[in-house]
Structures are given as C-alpha cells and as structure tokens.
C-alpha cells in the first residue's frame, strides 16, 4: 500500500488508483525500471522472443499460473525483461508434474531463443532457474 501511495504521489494524483497498485506490485516483484540501461534493436528482439517463450509455455501447460504481464523494459539488478505470473490460489504443495511444468516455463525462454536464433542461446537465460 505504501508503494502504491508513492506511485500516486509521483504521478501527481490525490488518490491511489488500481494502476498505482499495479505499478507498486511490478516495482516490488521486478525491481526499479532502469531507464539508463538502453538495449539495441537486436538485444530488444532477443529479449522479446525470450520472454514470449516463457509466456507461451505457461499458456500451454496445465497447472501453471497464468501470465499477468510480459515486459522487455530492463528492471532490477540484471533483468533485461520479465514475465510475471499471477497465482490463482495459495499453493503449498506441488505434484511432480506441476513442478516439471513450472521448470518448463522457466526453460521456455531458452527454448524460444534456440528456435528463433538457430541454437545461439544468450546468457539471458542464465538467471531463469
């Protein structure tokens, strides 16, 4: 709530809106937007395919949290892009199949890079696991 109030103040609002809460959640989950980290056209393209790989695998497998947002805006310490999934319920136990599906989502970015760029996978997939 505090982060949402800060977002409302930054935009000059006198009330906290739903958009302010979404901005706050994104800032907490993905980190601060790095406007100084400018990607070239080829890197943006690669990051976009990488993140869409995560999203496509998540959309195609059962028992995986739905994708809420995909972005290629660099944030945090090293993330050049990110895919945020929104849990539909609190889960404390996972079956083996559910765990494998979650790992598949994490590997989806790497798989996408291999398919699109002919096996030339970047170091962007290094932090996915």
Bridge partners of residue 85, in order along the sequence: 67
Residue pair 52/70 in contact by the 8 Å Cβ criterion: yes
Q: Which of 3, 33, 43, 51 is catalytic?
A: 51
Catalytic residue check, 89: no
Instruction: Return d(Cα 12, Cα 91) in angstroms, integer.
Output: 38
Instruction: Return d(Cα 125, Cα 115) in angstroms, integer.
Output: 14
Catalytic residues: 51
């Amino acid at each position: 709530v505090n982060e949402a109030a800060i977002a409302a103040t930054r935009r000059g609002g006198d009330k906290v809106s739903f958009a302010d809460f979404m901005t706050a959640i994104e800032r907490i989950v993905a980190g601060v937007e790095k406007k100084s980290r400018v990607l070239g056209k080829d890197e943006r393209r690669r990051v976009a395919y990488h993140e869409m790989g995560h999203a496509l695998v998540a959309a195609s497998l059962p028992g995986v949290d739905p994708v809420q947002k995909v972005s290629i805006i660099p944030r945090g310490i090293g993330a050049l892009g990110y895919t945020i999934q929104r849990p539909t319920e609190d889960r404390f136990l996972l079956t083996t199949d559910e765990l494998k599906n979650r790992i598949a989502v994490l590997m989806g970015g790497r798989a996408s890079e291999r398919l699109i760029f002919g096996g030339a996978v970047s170091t962007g997939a290094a932090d996915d696991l």
